[in-house]
Structure 1
Amino acid sequence: MPDVGPTAVLPRRPLTVGELLDSAVLLLRAQGRVLIPLGVLLAAGEQLLLYPLRRLAEAVPPVWWSESGSFPLWWQLLAVGAAGEAVSVLLLGNPAARAAGAALLGRRAGVGELLRPAGARWGVTLLLAPAVGLLMLVTALLGPAWLVGWGLLGSVAAAVALDRVPGLSAVPRAVRLAVRGRAAAVRLLGYLGWWVLRVGLALGLFFGVESLHLVDLTDPAVRTTAAMIAWGAVNSVAYPALACLDAVNHLDTRMRTEGLDIQLARTPAGLVAAGLPAVDR
């Protein structure tokens, strides 16, 4: 039985932090034709959702800093944005988790398999999305509490799609996994890394277009649209990447704390091909 899948995404052993980050990138590369188009849809929806709030807060593109100095409105804008990205990563986490599970079992999930609704538990995932969004909205409004919320909720999608836990049990399941080891810290590290990349790429893209005079950005409406496109384009890749990190982080945590790798090694090949071992509920 091979130790890795065909795309060498996830070895059947606990990984270092660097290996986890590499595995997330490999998973995104292997499943980008599914995850990135979904990321485009979610990132575009997020930009449209934030548009009226940015106008209300008088946030100026491309940094979206409030020109009016109305800190409460700007803070609410940030909180809604934090909730939106959490929901986006959660929804992308469903196919990302199933792709990671397949890679761990030694095969590459096809496009049809990841898009097929049968067995994907999309209904449960969609029902949990508002709950996760609300939790992240509240924690973001509280400031530093956002760090706790983001760190603890990384395994919600994988708990639904891979562990098959019922409904709302996915949230406490995710919290338990996060506090057992380093999972929360890895998720925060991944977010920080991608936040730096997102800011650099989005602003670089925007100001690059402006400096080359490819588009007349003196018009406020055009400037706003260009900034939304720049941020949406960057988030279209960043959100799938974060979802992939959540997926491999979840499986690594199960190997470290539940002996998933040992269970797979002791399971007959025919049963391994059928799916991951069940978890205690």
Structure 2
Amino acid sequence: MNDSPGWAVPGPSPSDGDRPGAPDGRDGGEGAQPPAQQPPAGGPKWSAEQPPPGEWSSPGTPQAPQAPQTPQPPHQQPQPGAGWGSYGGPQGGQGPSGPYGSPGGPGQWGKPPAAKPGVIPLRPLDLGEILDGAVATMRSHWRSVLPITLVVATVVQVVTVLVQKYALSDLPVTSDAEPSVRELVDTLGGSMLALVANGFIQLIGTIVATAMLTMIFSRAVLGQSSAIGTAWREARPQLLRLLGLTLLLGVGGILLVGVLIAPGIALGNIAVGLLGGFAALPLLLWLGIKFSLASPALMLEKSSVPTSLRRSSRLVQGSWWRIFGITALTGLITTFVSAIIVWPLSIAGLAIGLADAGPTALENGTAASSWAALILSAVGAVIAQTITMPIQSGVTVLLYVDQRIRREALDLELARAAGLENYGTDPAAPATGG
């Protein structure tokens, strides 16, 4: 694995299956470190990053060596949960605390402390930590994140406004005279060509932004900043592969829908066609989540398109519902934020267009294609995309990191890349930045 910014796979196909013996209760894999020394049977179980029972000190504070103590009677020995992670003293919780789980008894704190060199702690993440990591990266690295998304969103919206003004406005809405077939074909052909060109510009902009944001987030996990030029140089070698991956997934989805609705078209039966279309929706959703981690795998592991698809499939295996839930919630949040920003500006632009062109402008469609409506809608879209694009990209990257931490003990490699000494090796040694 490289220290920064790309991460190689630790061993051949480490996520092919769950392997016992991984540290801290995670799924094993090639390259996983041997587990730390276990406490004696029957005694309290402690995470490798916690001090021994009965101690109360800040995480990361070196512990002074203690003189040997005489054995205590069983009734005087500290109980599990009476040390780190509880505030009730020896009478606090009664259950042992696992390395990543919440201590089971009352009077306990939540998760044990973990090294946090960057925007996330180096342990399996929950929903709040993934969302917080994406927002924290936006906030702390805004000089790199916001200019990328602002430029991409501005270019895309300028092209969109021009297409809507000069191509789509030629489509007849209402007309006293019936247009000829040739006029309809010419109008629709020109509009489709403009839409394809607009879609291609949006695709290129999205790919460039996604690639550069992935590199910035990968460094933010390690606590490192990344300039725009650095992110571009690191992302540029993989841009063509990322374009190929995106096109492959898009074309594959179109072919899947086409195959399922083809019987209805061939039979001339609308019901059969609709049934095939409805059957395609859950398949597209399942495949979309299954390959949702292919993009960060391709960028950070410097892999090929087929390898990134296999990697995503293995990382998602067994966690499909969790990744689906986090992805869907992120989509709902970003959609809500976009609606709050775009709708007021769009309504204001439409009102200005109606005031200039009169009440008939709404009927013939000229109000929606007026300069005021188009420009204000584009401004709202630029602001919304500048805010939501980093959140969506960040959640995807952090989901990828989280799955590799859970399956491949990636936190050990990230700690080494971040310069944390003695991480995961000596339970009594604190992790310090190098």
TM, length-normalised to structure 2: 0.47
Q: Which has the higher contact order (CA 8 A, sep 6+)?
A: 1
Which residue of 128, 133, 141 maps to 1:18? 128
Shift of 1:197: 1.4
Query: Structure 1 pair 187/170, CA: closer, same or farther in 2 (3 Å)?
Result: same
Q: Secondary structure at the match of 1:180?
A: coil
Identity over aligned residues, as a percent?
18
Deviations 1:195-221 (A, max 9, x none): 12112221023335667x699675432
Provide the residue aligned with 1:36 in structure 2.
146
Provide the residue aligned with 1:102 in structure 2.
219
Which residue of 304, 311, 314 maps to 1:173? 311
Answer with 10-19 or 227-236: which moved more: 227-236
Shift of 1:54: 6.0
Shift of 1:16: 1.1
Q: Secondary structure at the match of 2:115?
A: coil
Deviations 1:187-244 (A, max 9, x none): 2221121112112221023335667x69967543222333233223312321222111
Provide the residue aligned with 1:27 in structure 2.
137
**Equivalent residues, number:** 252
Q: Give the partner amino acid of 2:392.
A: L
Provide the residue aligned with 1:9 in structure 2.
119
Which residue of 215, 223, 229 maps to 1:112? 229
Q: Secondary structure at the match of 1:101?
A: helix
Return the index of the structure with the highest Cα Rg.
2
Provide the residue aligned with 1:233 in structure 2.
383
Provide the residue aligned with 2:409 in structure 1.
259
Tell whether the 8 Å contact from 1:84 to 1:133 is kept in structure 2 after alignment: no
Q: Secondary structure at the match of 1:256?
A: helix
Which residue of 155, 173, 189 maps to 2:293? 155
Tell whether the 8 Å contact from 1:135 to 1:149 is kept in structure 2 after alignment: no
Q: Secondary structure at the match of 1:234?
A: helix
Matched ranges for 1:113-262 at <5 A:
113-117=230-234, 121-135=238-252, 144-145=281-282, 146-181=284-319, 182-207=322-347, 219=367, 220-222=369-371, 223-262=373-412
Query: Structure 1 pair 14/36, CA: closer, same or farther in 2 (3 Å)?
Result: same
Matched residues in 1 for 2:318 and 2:202: separation?
A: 25
Tell whether the 8 Å contact from 2:211 to 2:235 is kept in structure 1 after alignment: no
Shift of 1:139: 7.3
Identify unmatched segments of 5+ residues in structure 2.
1-59, 61-113, 174-196, 259-276, 358-366, 422-434
Tell whether the 8 Å contact from 1:151 to 1:184 is kept in structure 2 after alignment: yes
Q: Does 2:210 align with 1:93? A: yes
Q: CA RMSD in A?
A: 4.2
Query: Structure 1 pair 102/232, CA: closer, same or farther in 2 (3 Å)?
Result: closer
Query: Structure 1 pair 9/81, CA: closer, same or farther in 2 (3 Å)?
Result: farther
Deviations 1:3-57 (A, max 9, x none): 223xx41221111101110101111223333333332344345443594586588
TM, length-normalised to structure 1: 0.69
